[in-house]
Structure 1
Amino acid sequence: MQDCNCYHNHEDVDIVIVGAGLAGLTTALALHRLGLRSQVLESSESLRITGFALTLWTNAWRALDAVGIGDSLRQKSTQITGFKMASSDSGLFSPGQPLDKDGKFEGYESRCVRRKDLMETLVNELPQGTIRYSSKVVSIDTEDHFKLVHLADGSILKTKVLIGCDGVNSMVAKWLGLATPVTIGRSAIRGLIDFPNGSGFDPMSYLYFEGGTRFGFRPVDDTTVYWFCTFAPQVSSYEKELQENQVKMKQFVLSLVRKMPREAQDVVERTPLSNMSYSILKIRLPWNVYFGNIVKHNVCVAGDALHPMTPDINQGGCSALEDAIVLGRSLGEAFLSKSSETDNEIERIEKGLEKYGRERRWRSVGLISVAYCVGFIQQSRGKIMSYLRKIWLSNYTSNALLKMSSYDYGDLCF
């Protein structure tokens, strides 16, 4: 956009966050903990809680502790201690294997959390009025060193900092010049089911890989189970039909897991149609993150607006929480650090966001790349890949996941 000095009817806001998703709300809470107020713009009429559940690892729990909500969420989730692999030959699950079988990652955490619980906990900790619903961003202009954010209702917000947490189809990312995320030829169906009398499942991840399909489920707590199924659709027209028809969606998943143990089939069969969702998997190409403008002056992106990735290593939500802490720390230092009278706040903000960009660029590139490669190995067909998958999964997967989740991104305080 061209510089514009013709807008007079606007609201002045120090920090504007576009998108009230996980990254946006956690960033707002991180800033609030440091004493900074932000305005979160959400295009929907109410809080979006689709997605059912998230698997959060050690790095995510460190972020949740940093903003003060970790313990309350732990009370609503079960610590996952290991995994069980399903065999299509025997129709049974293998004996459980511990996640940290070599004892290298003492104190790790892996828990599945309801998205609704997570999002509502974040909202309840924010000051009233932080989120502005029904606020769709239609354009972004520049006025001097400020950004003018135009909303569909005609409102204009003038801000010192603009943060795009507006997901895969981010308008802020487009403004920065980042390329559109690409589809990878895979889709995901996810579901959530409640067992009123208890699920009876061990606190483990139950997994199955066969013929291009990746299926798994894990307990959220004693009565709730979250499941996921990723696959490569055969016909695009059929894919559209699956998205629009919950009954066919369920039948399709059952056809994919028919060789799995009975417990797995039962989880899908008992899932209410309203508790299932379909999504097409997309990623931002790693070189686009590496070479692109993830930060430009006083504008940046975080969460899925920065690094959409496949769910194969459970790091999409975890890395969004990392972003929030690093971003909160960088802006906290820019706005709150004591400086000389000649110091320029605008320069501090730009330097803070540049620092955020440096810290998150390589991390994002690495996670996107690893997730894609893991998904490729897990879902590839053929005898050679099947053999490699068995060897690789048993020896390296859990250690790799634990190592990635032990990443040190620092504390919220600066």
Structure 2
Amino acid sequence: MAQQRSASRAVIIGGGIGGLTAAVALHRSGRHVTVLERARSLEPVGAAISLAPNSLRALDVIGLGDEIRGLAAWQGDGGVRTPSGRWLSRADATALAERFGGPLVLLHRSTLVDRLAARLPEDAVRLSSPGTLTDPGGPDRPARVSTPDGELEADLVVGADGIHSAVRRALFPSHPGPVYAGFTTWRVVIPVPGLHPGNVTSHETWGRGRIWGTHPLKDGRVYAYAAAMTPAQGHAPDDERAELVRRFGTWHDPVPQVIEAARPEDVLRHDVHHIAEPLPAFHRGRVALLGDAAHAMPPTLGQGGNQAVEDAIVLAVHAGDLAAYSAARQPRTTAIARKAVGVARLNMMSGRAGTAVRDAVVAAFSKAAPGLLLRSFDGIADWRPPPPPYASDEARAGTP
């Protein structure tokens, strides 16, 4: 097989948000990057993504933050409700932006993927090209990745291949891998006739072993997600839209209206898995893991994609010292993942008595301390990227 070598090559296995962010950051540092994506398109399987101030600041490092802020819907006032519509807690978008130095925004994943890919050279992304790590490399030898077109040698390989990462299994074969979190999710991004996004109040509604969220997008569509405690690998007996009707059809407006507007093919269903046992490191040899491959977490804090973006920027800073990358990222992501598990236990409670106590406590604390919900993101949304120097296009051009 043909062998390709570059003295400053970085090979990224996986063309999702984390992998593409890493590719852009590494490209800006002067490396030749190759992104290997097994799918025929970069069109992501998924729906919307919420970007908090921490990941937007990370995107600022590669010159993309302001563009994304302009394309996204800034999350407005909202909060947590009960299935009857009663507010348990209210959120203040202005207070959030003031506390954490920027807004919380929402956009479709494909928009972010498109903007990231546009910042790469035309030949950087190889579609329909699965990559298999054959040698993690070491101080005296490059890493090796096999592809349908031959073997690549690289000074850095990035495993950004998701929750069921083959790269992670190759690096840490004795690690147990992801486990089922106990619940599944449904997601839709659709226009809702008669429901103007400007009149949609963002909310997350907590029931017994079930949650629902509704949020407007800037393009006029509505993003809605649901979750419920179910056995793994379940499927609706008819279709997933009908399953949403059964589980959420009697909840407060606009939940029934959103479900009514969805077609069965609009509804995505996925079981939630997470890495319960932290990895011993996020690197081995010349290979680094990021995103779900390194620290998959439940979506209950909305930080999965945000942490992948952070990983990518920090990796570009420490690309020459992967032990420093692990040291910078592992404690933070482990703590956030554990917090996401704890939040999942809280909002997916299913016992009648337990949920009644939960709702009463949330309502009481929110009334007594309106900023309680915001304070729960201290140490998460206020993160800032490592200090300069950042390699950049301007620096490479010799601009002071």
SS in 1 for 2:155: strand
Residue 127 (structure 1) aligned with residue 121 (structure 2): yes
8 A contact 1:176–1:293 mirrored in 2: no
Letter in 1 for 2:19: G
Higher mean displacement: 274-283 or 197-206 = 197-206
Residue 397 (structure 1) aligned with residue 373 (structure 2): yes
SS in 2 for 1:126: coil
Per-residue CA deviation, residues 303-361 of structure 1 (Å, 9 max, x unaligned), is: 11111110000000100000011011112xxxxxxxxxxxxxxxxx3xx1111100000
Residue number in structure 2 paired with 1:10 = 3
SS in 2 for 1:163: strand
Shift of 1:139: 4.5
Residue 379 (structure 1) aligned with residue 348 (structure 2): yes
Letter in 2 for 1:51: G
SS in 1 for 2:72: coil
Distance 2:317 2:360 in 1: 42
Distance 1:269 1:412 in 2: 50
Unaligned runs of 5+ in 2: 391-400
User: Which of 41, 56, 67 pairs up with 1:61?
Assistant: 56
Q: Is the alpha carbon distance of 1:56 and 1:106 closer, same or farther for their aligned partners in structure 2, counting shifts above 3 Å?
A: closer
Shift of 1:365: 0.5
User: Which of 380, 386, 390 pairs up with 1:410?
Assistant: 386
Q: Percent identity?
A: 24
Distance 1:95 1:371 in 2: 19
Residue 316 (structure 1) aligned with residue 290 (structure 2): no
Distance 2:116 2:107 in 1: 13
Q: Counterparts of 1:2-81 in structure 2 under 5 Å?
A: 9-13=2-6, 14-81=9-76
User: Which of 352, 358, 361 pairs up with 1:388?
Assistant: 358
Residue 355 (structure 1) aligned with residue 324 (structure 2): yes
Q: Is the alpha carbon distance of 1:127 and 1:404 closer, same or farther for their aligned partners in structure 2, counting shifts above 3 Å?
A: same
Shift of 1:180: 1.4
8 A contact 1:193–1:272 mirrored in 2: no
Residue number in structure 2 paired with 1:260 = 251
Shift of 1:202: 4.7
Distance 1:27 1:205 in 2: 31
Shift of 1:84: 3.4
Aligned residue pairs total 377
Residue number in structure 2 paired with 1:108 = 102
Residue number in structure 2 paired with 1:249 = 240
Q: Is the alpha carbon distance of 1:411 and 1:135 closer, same or farther for their aligned partners in structure 2, counting shifts above 3 Å?
A: farther
How large is the Cα RMSD of the aligned pairs? 2.5
Unaligned runs of 5+ in 1: 1-7, 332-348
Shift of 1:126: 0.9
Shift of 1:94: 7.0
SS in 2 for 1:26: helix
Residue 182 (structure 1) aligned with residue 158 (structure 2): no
Residue 364 (structure 1) aligned with residue 343 (structure 2): no
Shift of 1:175: 1.2
Per-residue CA deviation, residues 230-277 of structure 1 (Å, 9 max, x unaligned), is: 1111x55xx5433xx7x6211111222234212121112212333321
What TM-score, normalized to structure 2? 0.87
Shift of 1:179: 3.1
Distance 1:104 1:72 in 2: 20
Residue 284 (structure 1) aligned with residue 268 (structure 2): no
Residue number in structure 2 paired with 1:158 = 153
SS in 2 for 1:38: strand
Per-residue CA deviation, residues 166-203 of structure 1 (Å, 9 max, x unaligned), is: 00111111111143111121111111112477624457
Distance 2:245 2:193 in 1: 22
Distance 1:83 1:319 in 2: 24
Q: Is the alpha carbon distance of 1:96 and 1:36 closer, same or farther for their aligned partners in structure 2, counting shifts above 3 Å?
A: same
Q: Is the alpha carbon distance of 1:26 and 1:145 closer, same or farther for their aligned partners in structure 2, counting shifts above 3 Å?
A: same
Shift of 1:53: 0.6
Q: Is the alpha carbon distance of 1:11 and 1:95 closer, same or farther for their aligned partners in structure 2, counting shifts above 3 Å?
A: closer
Distance 2:331 2:295 in 1: 11
User: Which of 140, 146, 162 pairs up with 2:142?
Assistant: 146
User: Which of 217, 230, 245 pairs up with 2:214?
Assistant: 217
Letter in 2 for 1:121: R
Residue number in structure 1 paired with 2:396 = none
Distance 1:196 1:26 in 2: 35
8 A contact 1:17–1:164 mirrored in 2: yes
SS in 1 for 2:42: coil
What TM-score, normalized to structure 1? 0.84
Shift of 1:162: 1.1
